[in-house]
């Protein structure tokens, strides 16, 4: 009739890992973007950079 001995440090760390994983899963749902969205954003950023570079005056130093 002896109870199982529980290491409180391990139990606390295990609970913290579970909580962190649950939070990570929620963040993936809330803040994650699809591959198409990421590629679209990257393409828009590249287009804006090319447009800015194309309007630079000759001899003007690059930032």
Q: What does the pLDDT read at residue 21?
A: 98
How distant, in Å, are the alpha carbons of 1, 7, 14, 15, 56 from that of 4? Answer: 10, 10, 17, 18, 73
| pLDDT exceeds 80 at position 34 | yes
User: Would you state the pLDDT for residue 63?
Assistant: 67
Residue 29 has pLDDT above 70, yes or no: yes
**What does the alpha-carbon distance between residue 45 and residue 30 come to, in Å, rounded to a whole number?**
23
DSSP 37-56: HHHHHHHHHHHHHHHHHHTP
pTM value?
Answer: 0.52
Query: 23 or 34, which is more confident?
Result: 23
Mean pLDDT of 40-58: 92
């Amino acid at each position: 009739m002896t109870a199982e001995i529980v290491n409180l440090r391990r139990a606390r760390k295990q609970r913290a890992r579970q909580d962190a994983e649950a939070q990570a899963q929620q963040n993936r749902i809330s803040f994650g973007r699809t591959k198409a969205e990421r590629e679209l954003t990257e393409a828009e950023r590249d287009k804006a950079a090319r447009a800015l570079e194309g309007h630079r005056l000759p001899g003007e130093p690059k930032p």
